[in-house]
Structure 1
Amino acid sequence: MPKIKVHERALAHLSRGLYRSPASALRELVSNAWDANATTVEINTNYPNFFQLSVRDNGDGFSREEFERMMKGGIGNSTKRIDHRHLKFDRPLIGRLGIGMLGIAQICGSFEVRSQPKTGTGFRAKVHLYDGAKSKWDDANSGLLHDATSEVEGGESVPDKIIDIGTYDVWDLDETMSQGTRILTSDVTPTFTQAFQISLKLPNYKNVPLDWKRAVTKVLNSAASLQLLGDYWRLLWELAASCPVPYLAEDALPRGLVREKNEELTKHNFSLIVDGRNLFKPVFLKQNPGGYTVHRFERSTLRVYASHGDDVEAPKSIFRQTSSGRAASCRRCRRAPECAESTFRKRRYKS
């Protein structure tokens, strides 16, 4: 069977835990659907058993040739950030590095893809991911690591590595399917299944209303914490908060603070349905007894410095820019940041 080849710089996002939660992995599939001009994405978690997982969209779909090109080394070879396509409904591109499809690898060992493009023949494929391959990604003797080149902005090619992470089978679609893409897995990891099944038995768990507004206003707004409600509630909340769906209402925040943003999101004509629930941003502070501020927080930037180099195991000292524009002294040697023994790496953190 053909091997799935992924460029090292893209795979690094997987190994660093970019998709460390089920919602993070599913969000990238939602982003792919958005970039494919889908107006609806439906996710089914097989609640309350969680033995299967499916994601279906009504987007543009893609061809067998495009899929095979991606599997043979196209993942991570060029980023969507330099993609100049113009999407429908005045949408921006939001997918990351073309690896959204492999994000689901965090919660399954294999999955099936079916896609029907607007024109031409669709395809179906079975993707098998190597078990325990992550521990071998950095091992030059594993046989999974190969020299390659990667394309960067401007068309320049730079040295890179390609890693084999699995195999795939692909066939022409032999059934009638509406335009779009469907991803299905029945090989969900036991950790995912058990965690979600257990979350339904927690003492503070409450059934999730099909009406998402009711779920937010009657349950989430009165819960002591999201953690106490369990993993299933967390999955729904994270997807609703991070995906480009509208707010529950234009007055979800007082004084019309989200009215303009909500109009923009509504204009993009995109909906996300999870287990029959049409999700919206899980924010509704109107008449919320918990209190809120009516002042908008402006984006701010803080400069942070770390000292004493990377070869020292001691905690790194942090320097904060003061109102005078000068950095405070090193917490270890009590000297200014330019102390001779320290190597500083300037980083910028956005709040």
Structure 2
Amino acid sequence: MPISVNEKTQELEGNIRNSLVDGTAAEGRLETNDRIIARVTDGIYREPWSAFRELVSNAYDADATSVSIDCDYPFFNEVRISDDGIGMDSQTVADLLTNIGGSSKRTFRGKSLGTVNTSDPTESPSGRKLIGKIGIGLFAVAQLTNHFQIITKRKGNSERISATVKINTYRENAHTDEADETYASGTYKVVAEKTSDIDAHGTTIVLMNIQRAVREKLQSREIWDALDEQENEETFGLFDIVSKPNFHIGRVGANGELSIPSSLPWTATDSPKEKFQKLFDRTIELGRNSSDRTDLSHLDNYLKMVWRLSLGSPIKYLETHPFEFTGLTNFDFFELSNKPKGGASRIDLTGDQSIRTAMGLEAGTKDPLSEFTVFIDGVELFRPVKLSEVLQGSKNLPRPMFFAGKVETNFGDASADRSGGKLAFEAYLYWNSKIIPKESIGALIRVNGASGTLFDPDFLGYQIAEQTRKKQVTCEIFVLEGLDGALNIDRESYNTSHAHYLYIQKWLHNAFRQFATQHKKIGREVREIEIERISTDVTSKLTDIAGEVWERMRGDDIGLPTIETRPLNHGDSLPVKVGGNEISWDQPRIKERRIGRPDRIEAISIILDAYGILELLDDERRADLLFDIATIFEDDA
């Protein structure tokens, strides 16, 4: 019979007292109080999209190739999440319900349950790198409801299993009279039934009685109510605090009826991919044409949830993986150095050669099943990250910039206890003069293809004063191995003192510095070329004016006077002979001053010579006259 918590406590207390007599230390294993699990099952995620993300990740780990979510919008009374993964048999379901927080993933126990690869417990049966590891992903539903059903079947089995689960709501101030103070996280009822469809497989999770707060959040109740308050505001001259979403799923009134019809970016006849494409295109278009709403405020909460779920899921990009850009792309490509004081080097891709091929990058090519799609209410999700070849906003550089790098380290053979083990990742930094939407500004870390975080606009705490450039960069870091240990239990934040996190943070800051250095360098080159172009244009114009005066005064049968120049006066190339007239600049008052526009001096010399004025003066007086005239224009030189 198992020893109760109270008995274990009494036993340890006795051992501690005995140490007073014999000096023997009391030893044992730390025990976790059931309150911890109670709090976990009460919901640990911040937003509804996070809960959906965890359920999608579970399906991915179960070797699903497709996941379908039906939210029953705009009412959200019941939500269904179905996948075509390997499903569960009776043994796996039993293990799931009796081992909350004791996932079989990444364990040898998972081999006997069929939840992990037989040769590597860190991979799914098909060989996918597992996203989950703790065993609480299923209880992400506690963020949405405390009542759900699991319907599952494994291929080759003749039984389908249905488990109905109710999760108890944890109350911090609740008291119990039980001696061991144990807490039941919830209850379940499981039924197996025979089925003739032996080849069927997969899992469906039905979320019933969605919490009122969640329903109202997804219905954007606070936005609609705020709009009502603003409309009734009698004080004039105030700016609106809230703007009506351009796209929304409609408004549900207090009576549960749809009081405002939906305004969606797609039509009912569009294909699932076309719907997402239009959601993306309209969001970018509205952000580009708006001076103050360049974020996702054009969307209601439900559509924001769709966007963020697509951002965090291990799915394909809407157009192309960033590492598939080629030499035909209108980018300047650079390879990032891993050296602390290294610099980025330019990469010249040839024709259709991709940055992936040139640098041997792997991210985005490792799924052994080659397909994982997610649908939500008839919309197929794609990663909403598109790196435009066209400069947005300011055109201060010729084209967007793309920096790529990769790292693989074992921390100098340091022990896994100290280093966290091997770390391998690949990354890119993309610059454009304007990033739309603002949610794509910053750095996003993907572990095994998935992310629980959004883009971090501070680039993991980069402290250098680069506020303008920070707003012009999209960065994704693809972790191929490691960093799992730094993920906190909600997968939405990191242990910032973990060796892997610190390494990535330091690498990213070094990468950003390399980008900034190249950005400044190219900016200087562009400005110098522009200054030279402007100078050439002005010089050409001055020459034309001087030529017209010369032709009017001397006729078109006499050519312009030859001008001999020499570097004088702090490097300025000034005329020392115009036609046959010598000009002497060797005078203290002239030698101490720099003349800003030598081309203007040449034009003035030709005009004065056309009028015959230079012939009336000696060498030094010619220099005095030219210098004095040039000084008049000094402020606009």
Considering the TM-score relative to the shorter chain, is it more than 0.5?
A: yes
What amino acid is aligned across from residue 294 of structure 1 in structure 2?
Answer: F
Superposition deviation, residue 117 in structure 1: 1.1
- In structure 1, how many angstroms separate the alpha carbons of the residues matched to 2:77 and 2:202? 24
- In structure 1, how many angstroms separate the alpha carbons of the residues matched to 2:401 and 2:462? 27
C-alpha contact (below 8 Å) 1:125/1:170 kept by paired residues: yes
| Aligned partner (choices 274, 277, 295) of residue 213 of structure 1 | 277
Would you tell me which structure has more strand in proportion to its own residues?
Answer: 1
C-alpha contact (below 8 Å) 2:68/2:82 kept by paired residues: yes
| Aligned partner (choices 135, 146, 154) of residue 109 of structure 1 | 146
Q: Does structure 1 residue 197 correspond to structure 2 residue 219?
A: yes
Q: Does structure 1 residue 250 correspond to structure 2 residue 340?
A: no
- In structure 1, how many angstroms separate the alpha carbons of the residues matched to 2:306 and 2:463? 40
Between the two proteins, the alignment pairs up a number of residues equal to: 286
Q: Give TM-score, length-normalised by structure 2.
A: 0.40
C-alpha contact (below 8 Å) 2:146/2:166 kept by paired residues: yes
Superposition deviation, residue 47 in structure 1: 1.6
Q: Does structure 1 residue 87 correspond to structure 2 residue 105?
A: no
Structure whose alpha-carbon radius of gyration is higher: 2
Match of 2:301 in 1: 231
Superposition deviation, residue 268 in structure 1: 3.6
**RCO higher in 1 or 2 (8 Å CA, sep ≥ 6)?**
1
- In structure 2, how many angstroms separate the alpha carbons of the residues matched to 1:29 and 1:143? 36
- Relative distance call for 1:143 and 1:174 in structure 2 (3 A) is farther
C-alpha contact (below 8 Å) 2:141/2:207 kept by paired residues: no
- Relative distance call for 1:66 and 1:87 in structure 2 (3 A) is closer
Match of 2:55 in 1: 29
SS in 1 for 2:46: coil
- In structure 1, how many angstroms separate the alpha carbons of the residues matched to 2:462 and 2:246? 44
Q: Does structure 1 residue 125 correspond to structure 2 residue 163?
A: yes
Match of 2:378 in 1: 276
Name which of structure 1's ranges 82-91 and 271-280 shifts more when overlaid on structure 2: 82-91
C-alpha contact (below 8 Å) 1:90/1:268 kept by paired residues: no
Instruction: Compute the RMSD of aligned alpha carbons.
Output: 3.7
Superposition deviation, residue 53 in structure 1: 0.7
What amino acid is aligned across from residue 261 of structure 1 in structure 2?
Answer: A
- Relative distance call for 1:143 and 1:171 in structure 2 (3 A) is farther
Superposition deviation, residue 287 in structure 1: 4.7
- Relative distance call for 1:77 and 1:288 in structure 2 (3 A) is same
What amino acid is aligned across from residue 129 of structure 1 in structure 2?
Answer: I
What amino acid is aligned across from residue 276 of structure 1 in structure 2?
Answer: G
Superposition deviation, residue 250 in structure 1: 1.8
- In structure 2, how many angstroms separate the alpha carbons of the residues matched to 1:144 and 1:240? 44
Superposition deviation, residue 135 in structure 1: 2.6
Q: Does structure 1 residue 51 correspond to structure 2 residue 92?
A: no
What amino acid is aligned across from residue 274 of structure 1 in structure 2?
Answer: I
- In structure 1, how many angstroms separate the alpha carbons of the residues matched to 2:496 and 2:133? 25
Match of 1:295 in 2: 403
SS in 1 for 2:219: helix
- In structure 1, how many angstroms separate the alpha carbons of the residues matched to 2:380 and 2:161? 29
- In structure 2, how many angstroms separate the alpha carbons of the residues matched to 1:96 and 1:26? 17
C-alpha contact (below 8 Å) 1:116/1:123 kept by paired residues: yes
Name which of structure 1's ranges 286-295 and 240-249 shifts more when overlaid on structure 2: 286-295
SS in 2 for 1:80: coil
Q: Which sections of structure 1, spanning at least 5 residues, go unmatched?
A: 1-5, 147-162, 300-319, 324-344
- Relative distance call for 1:236 and 1:257 in structure 2 (3 A) is farther
SS in 2 for 1:192: helix
- In structure 2, how many angstroms separate the alpha carbons of the residues matched to 1:189 and 1:257? 47
Q: Give TM-score, length-normalised by structure 1.
A: 0.68
C-alpha contact (below 8 Å) 2:160/2:195 kept by paired residues: no
Q: Which sections of structure 2, spanning at least 5 residues, go unmatched?
A: 1-32, 109-119, 225-242, 248-263, 267-271, 288-293, 332-353, 394-399, 408-460, 465-494, 506-637
- Relative distance call for 1:257 and 1:247 in structure 2 (3 A) is farther
Would you tell me which structure has more helix in proportion to its own residues?
Answer: 2
Superposition deviation, residue 103 in structure 1: 0.7
C-alpha contact (below 8 Å) 1:136/1:142 kept by paired residues: no
- Relative distance call for 1:228 and 1:68 in structure 2 (3 A) is same
| Equivalences for residues 39-78 of structure 1 within 5 A | 39-72=65-98, 74-78=99-103
- Relative distance call for 1:144 and 1:233 in structure 2 (3 A) is farther
Superposition deviation, residue 141 in structure 1: 5.3
Name which of structure 1's ranges 250-259 and 103-112 shifts more when overlaid on structure 2: 250-259
C-alpha contact (below 8 Å) 1:226/1:233 kept by paired residues: no
- In structure 2, how many angstroms separate the alpha carbons of the residues matched to 1:244 and 1:18? 21
- In structure 2, how many angstroms separate the alpha carbons of the residues matched to 1:109 and 1:346? 32
C-alpha contact (below 8 Å) 2:41/2:167 kept by paired residues: no
Match of 1:173 in 2: 193
Q: Does structure 1 residue 261 correspond to structure 2 residue 369?
A: no
Match of 2:497 in 1: 347
- In structure 2, how many angstroms separate the alpha carbons of the residues matched to 1:10 and 1:290? 49
